[in-house]
A and B are shown apart, each in its own frame.
Chain A
């Protein structure tokens, strides 16, 4: 069995919306679960970077909400995580189960790309595979080298193009400031959930009078949140969330493209919220 790390989190009101566990907070806690797993089972995150010149960057995330759970259901969450190295050592997948008083409330997945930290001051890095000296510290069943992680976002977008009906669109501009960032002055991936949520809420509030289906974007719990990231944003970079709302098979789906004018490619990532 792959090694699991379990910890208990005492909840506060900021972990929840009135509807469910808050997506940004779930992703943030899921990332902390990675750090805890590393420290308990492999090498602590600071040592991984400073001593081994090795780190991970986030390529994608998924959140699946399961049993309904609200703030007043109980005072704690129990998080259990496993980590597996995949695709010939060029990917790592952290899966975290979040249990509350009503059972498994959410599953959080974080897809990681191993990188070699080339210099420690700016923490600039380049993709790599997990080096043998670090892989040897893992258990055999934590090495799924022939497994390629499944990509959810392209499948959903293809289904929308095929069978969806677009019912709304909206653009929200933002600038990355340090409160959005992590230690390398690049934005922390979990901030995306807040930025795209803000764009979705603005779109729904503007359009709900003409398009009642958009009400689900404000008053219904999210069922899934999936995201793929292709480029980072850094401190002071401007960006735009370009959102479109769709009806697919009777449910609401909101697609958010993360754009910027920084040269090197307009699209930084795509997030999909399903209600």
Chain B
């Protein structure tokens, strides 16, 4: 799958807007994304390793909820991560 990052997340991905990850589910993909871009980990995941719900996930344009993170995903899926609110 291909992760597409934007906005306040770019600083934590060395300004890479697209990161390709080989993973069978979104949950695995997020873990591997955070291994590949370690600075993203505390921003995207909480202390228990769970996806912070302050961000929204969209797969091929459709929003995905946290209880769907374990669903199988294809290699061609595009995953956008969008921060809902920033408190700056």
- The answer to whether A binds B is yes
The residues of A with any CB-CB pair to B shorter than 8 Å are 49, 54-57, 115-119, 121-127, 182-186, 231-237, 262-264
Question: Closest residue of chain A to B15, judged by CB?
Answer: A236
Q: Write out the residue numbers on chain A whose beta carbons fall within 8 Å of the beta carbon of B11.
A: 122, 185
Q: Does B32 contact A (CB under 8 A)?
A: no
Once bound together, how far apart are the Cα atoms of A103 and B63, in whole Å?
A: 51
A119 touches B58 (CB 8 A): no
Residues of A close to B55: CB separation below 8 A: 124
Q: Which residue of B lies closest to A124 (CB)?
A: B54
Q: Interface of B with A (CB < 8 Å)? A: 6-12, 17, 39, 42-43, 52-56, 58, 61-63, 80, 82-88
Which 5 residue pairs across A and B have the least CB separation, nearest first? Answer: A234-B7, A184-B88, A125-B87, A55-B87, A184-B86
- Contact across chains for B43 and A119 when beta carbons are under 8 A apart: yes
Q: B82 touches which one: A117, A118, A236, A263 (CB < 8 A)? A: A263
Whether B56 and A264, one on each chain, are in contact in the complex, defined by CB atoms closer than 8 angstroms, is yes
Q: Are B54's CB and A118's CB within 8 A? A: yes
Q: A185 and B10: CB pair below 8 A?
A: yes
Chain A residue with the shortest CB-CB distance to B7: A234
By secondary structure, the B interface counts as mixed
Chain A residue at smallest Cβ distance from B40? A122
Contacts of A55 in B (CB 8 A): 87-88
Instruction: Give, as a whole number of angstroms, the nearest-CB distance from B39 to chain A.
Output: 8
List chain B residues, Cβ under 8 A from A234. 6-8, 82-83, 86
Between A and B, 5 residue pairs with Cβ closer than 8 Å are A121-B42, A124-B55, A185-B88, A234-B86, A236-B17
**A182 surroundings in chain B (CB, below 8 A):** 88
Whether B85 pairs with A264 at a CB distance below 8 angstroms is no
User: Smallest Cβ distance from A130 to chain B, in angstroms?
Assistant: 13
* A53 nearest in chain B by CB position: B87
A264 neighbours in B (Cβ, 8 Å): 56, 58, 63, 82, 84
When distances are taken between beta carbons in the complex, the residues of chain A under 8 Å from B62 are: 263
Q: How far is the CB of B33 from the nearest CB of chain A, in Å?
A: 15
Q: How far is the CA of A184 from the CA of B82 in the complex (A)?
A: 13
Contact of A183 among B6, B7, B82, B88 (CB under 8 A): B88
- Nearest Cβ distance between residue B34 and chain A, in whole angstroms? 13
A115 with B82: CB separation less than 8 A: no
Contacts of A122 in B (CB 8 A): 8-9, 11-12, 43, 83, 86
Closest residue on chain B to residue A183 by CB atoms? B88
Q: Is the CB of B85 within 8 A of A236?
A: no
On chain A, the residues within 8 Å of B12 by CB distance are 121-122
B8 touches which one: A57, A127, A184 (CB < 8 A)? A184
Contact A186 B86 (CB under 8 A): yes
Pick from B8, B58, B85 the residue with the most CB of A within 10 Å: B85
